[in-house]
Amino acid sequence: MPSPRTARAANASSSTSTGKFEFMSLLTNRVNASEAASSRGRAPDSPVHWKDSTSSQQPLPEEDCMKLNPSFLGIALRSLLAVDLWLSKKMGVCAREESSWGSARPLMKLIEITGHGIPWISISLYCFYKSDSSAGREVILNLLFALLLDLVLVGIVKGLVRRRRPSQNHMDMFATFSVDKYSFPSGHATRAAMASRFMLKHLVLATPVRILVMLWAVLVSLSRVMLGRHNVTDVVFGFFMGYMQYSLVEYFWLSPNTMPTLFKM
């Protein structure tokens, strides 16, 4: 059995060696930490701060938040635009000569000319010059006013919206102007809707002719999509816009009382 003195000596030797080992381990770790800190450009004695990954994230800008979390209205508008482009491309069967209905393209272009503004204004001016009755001049003068109003309003809306024409469109239209490079709304559709409503209201027409007038307005509007000139929404909005423009013409109706000089020519 070892003596108490021998046990104390053994314990002292054990604690000394253990303490030395722990001191060397701490010294080694300290040197390694100092080298790592210096390689990162930080002082060895500076405290190490651990950052939470969630706290380091910056708040997203408002426009990015709108893109990541779109509203129901935004989703509906984008879906409507996608359907509009898809349907317009499907209905553009006369857009090119090599299209599925490319052989009907000359007929569609003839219908397009019947809804152009220059023939309508030219014929209206000629009829106004040849008319010898006050009532006839009043109707034709207001038709001219309606056609000019249509040109101004459509040009303003096209200049504000600046929507490009469909990609399948072949720009070979008759007598185009600067704003005609834009698509929304369809000027042919507005003119067809307004002129047909005007004629049905102020001209004495037989029933078959009235049906032909309404059919002409529909064909002119439909030809815009078939030729690839416009998207479906351009034509639908244009037709509605032309229908409402007639109400403005009725409200500002020109009569011999308002403009007597024009009726005395």
Catalytically active residues are 188, 230
Select from 147, 99, 115 the least CA-distant residue to 222: 115
Interacting residues of 45 by C-beta distance below 8 A, sequence separation 6+: none
Is 217 in a helix, a strand, or coil?
helix
- With contact defined as beta carbons under 8 Å apart, do 101 and 226 qualify? yes
Q: Where are the alpha helices (DSSP H) in 162-259?
A: 187-202, 207-226, 232-251
Is 71 in a helix, a strand, or coil?
coil
In one-letter notation, the amino acid at residue 120 is W
Distance of CA 247 to the CA centre of its chain: 28
Select from 236, 265, 246, 155 the least CA-distant residue to 195: 246
Q: Terminal CA-to-CA distance of the chain, rounded, Å? A: 146
Distance CA 227, CA 92 (A): 6
